[in-house]
Amino acid sequence: MRGRLSWIGAIPHVVITVLMIVVTVDMLVGVFLRYVMTWISATFDLPTIRFFWVEEVGEWSLAWMSFIGAALGIRRGVHFAVHLVLDRMPRALRRSVLAAQCLLIVVFGALISFFGWQVAELNSQSFSPALVLNLRWLYLSSVAGGMLMIVYGFITLGDVMTGRGPWGELVKGGAD
């Protein structure tokens, strides 16, 4: 069963990769349109090219990338942390502190999801000026990121309790 569902864990990584490609291409297109095509339009007295959509594509991609990336950072244990005090604690206390941290991550994800949903609903009748997309989709990025934080928070809690993964390594290291 685990082998058949392992592809689900790759979805956020694939989404982040696609969004990074979109942002990179979007920036290159934006620079090209702004500096090359604007110059060509002005030089040859051609109609101007409207490229206001470039900024919105970047903003939307960044919003989704930020929330999904934050959740992935939780799972991998790569967020900024100060281990000076944690490494000096006995193993049982270290496990308790890390378990409490995981539960705080779950609560934080729930708060982001809850309030993100409210903001998405408040903006459900608004549309972006250039892309004319419903702003609900922009604010649902916080809901998706918050839900992933909840899921990854519980997974990391399991890692802390069983001593697996990057969070489990934090329990094993330090003073005993």
Convert the pLDDT of each residue in 126-148 to its tens digit: 999 999 999 999 999 999 999 99
pLDDT band, very low/low/confident/very high, at 26 (cuts 50, 70, 90): very high
Mean pLDDT of 89-112: 95
CA distance 21 to 27: 10
Mean pLDDT estimate for the chain: 92
Sign of the dihedral through C-alpha 100, 68, 54, 24? positive
Task: Give, in order, the Cα–Cα distances in Å from 47 to each of 37, 38, 42, 62, 161.
Answer: 10, 9, 8, 31, 64
- Residue 161 in this model has a pLDDT that exceeds 50: yes
